[in-house]
A and B are shown apart, each in its own frame.
Chain A
């Protein structure tokens, strides 16, 4: 028996959007405390780590731990039908293995969709010692990424005690975007060791664009030539974190 209800459909929809950036078929771990998802994209370059405690929900019922796999883009299609202040209920019918989606607003809609075979894979988190921790506004961060995308499809992220720099070099053009410590975009910067690492802009921009809808503040953590961890601070409780593996150019 598993059932949950959110008062505002937007919450659920934004989260499903953020997940759909990396995974198509998402296996959620559900227990009496809340629901979790940790998964990599098909090419295993990026990872999402997501948690929603039961306190987020208006109503949350889970009798015993279970796993549920659903096609996120299909779910998203249904959730897009709900407008901002409509309530959404999800309920898993274990007998038929179908998920019921009930949207209540001016009128009531009941959708059902099949669940898929849940993956048993336990995805660990990468073990990394981060030397840089930068707290940015998601707005400033996504603007900076868009700037870099004009000239290249990957970007070198560098940090020293004073600033965070995004450096992009294309075939013909280049871009350098500087976020100074204490500026409006860069709220905080802790640097143990000057670091730099290069990342794919297509991944970065999609992740940041989608996650920005759920959050105003993003914390970047990285070290030289190691994966970057981007944590999007949630307005309510809950966790939305991404990892992205670096690009390391060797001659």
Chain B
């Protein structure tokens, strides 16, 4: 049986970054193979055929010179995790404890693959699928336990899960469980594939189609269970109700993805990455409506947090609720591998919110959730600009939870207070390496705060003093 090591294949966006053209042939001088040989794992060797592009800088670099500009070679990191999960690939039968965790794919929607994620570990694994508890852990630790999760796949139409049989039914029930659940996962063949990486979703390990699935006794979270059995309750109020009763966003999202909420005839499976953003969006939109009724803050504030070489500076301006998220990618970071200059992306919404999907993706909504939580807690209103610098140490994407938890951590810190906008901006400029001018040029809300005058500026003032002010 031949296993293909997909380091250079397009299975993940990250992989694409260091191979400009991977359509190429199998290269004889295969440096990856020699690394794998030297790792003295003969079992792995048999299973692996490596592919690499002839003109890729990786062939020249061989994981040693960091030509791509990252601080560690993502390919080497991936190989390490791959080797760890090789034992997982030895058997078609996995017995373990699921955190619980499920994954609903999005390829081929509405015909998708659904199934549980199961590590071959017989202890409490709940931490493996609760990003709320991950803040502060290293990228190695997180990718380490995530890569142990084997994904079982079962084809299903998102709206016809009731007809899809026992495997899908048990997967759905697993997603509602409160604690880790014993699982026996029988696959049709040995799981294959390398670490799955995505900007939105937490990474996980190899996968294979499901032959049979046995899920042990699971106790449901009673709050989620209530919404699950209420087939007249619409999905939106269900999500908000659960959030307000203190259910973790991850748990709501997990149940959301298996179609546990909504009016019965409208229920459907939701691809995992869509469900994450859907829940972030629903909750933060509702919080923003509350924020709009509170009094404005009295000063300029800067909150900050740094984790996994992502630096966040959150600026709050004493004005009505508006929100903007900006991210700058250094050359050599995940999504800007070959760039010579830093790339800045942003999107914003005014007081009335937005109706289109944010250009920068799911992290826009995760950060919005984190800042709204803080403003609601304080019962205050502000214009909020979330600035993020992704530095070269951020070698692989780990999912939007990183943004949510990083900004939440920023919100837990005591903010730096300023009397003027220029004071706050100067502070941010000192923290960031990207010049302030570039941030301002890119930011609609910063330009607005700097340039848009208030009608109150012209009340008492005579014309002369108003001009002096300008």
Residues of chain A whose beta carbon lies under 8 Å from any beta carbon of chain B: 40, 42-47, 124, 126-129, 153, 200, 202, 223, 225-227, 243-250
Contacts and interface: CB of A to CB of B under 8 A. Distances in A.
Contact of B459 (A127, A226, A249): A127
B133 interface: no
A222 to B, nearest CB: 12
A230 B466 CA distance: 20
A248 to B, nearest CB: 5
B470 interface: yes
A197 to B, nearest CB: 10
Nearest to B437: A251
Interface string B427-470: 00000000000000000100100111111111111110011001
Contacts, number: 63
Contact of A127 (B454, B462, B470): B462
A232 to B, nearest CB: 18
Contacts of B456: 40, 44
- Which residue among B320, B350, B456, B462 has the maximum number of chain A CB atoms within 10 Å of its CB? B456
A226 B458 contact: yes
14 contacts: A40-B456, A42-B351, A43-B351, A45-B452, A124-B460, A153-B444, A200-B452, A202-B350, A227-B458, A243-B455, A245-B453, A245-B455, A247-B453, A248-B451
B470 A245 contact: no
A247 B447 CA distance: 9
Contacts of A225: 467, 470
Contact of B455 (A47, A202, A248): A47
Interface in B163-214: none
- Which residue among B320, B453, B461, B463 has the maximum number of chain A CB atoms within 10 Å of its CB? B453
Contacts of A153: 444
Chain A residues touching B, majority SS: loop
Contacts of A126: 455, 458-459
B319 interface: yes
Closest 5 CB pairs of A and B: A126-B458, A245-B453, A44-B454, A245-B455, A42-B320
Nearest to B461: A127
Contact of A245 (B320, B350, B351, B457): B457
Nearest to A126: B458
A128 B453 contact: no
Nearest to A44: B454
A46 B455 contact: yes
Contacts of B451: 247-250
Contacts of B462: 127
Contact of B453 (A202, A223, A248): A248
A247 B452 contact: yes
A202 B319 CA distance: 18
A200 B350 CA distance: 13
Contacts of B444: 153
B414 to A, nearest CB: 27
Interface in B106-159: none
Given A127-B459, A129-B463, A45 B470 contact: no
Given A247-B453, A248-B453, A43 B319 contact: yes
Interface in B288-335: 319-320
- Which residue among B458, B460, B461 has the maximum number of chain A CB atoms within 10 Å of its CB? B458
B459 A245 contact: no
Contacts of A40: 455-456
Contacts of B461: 127
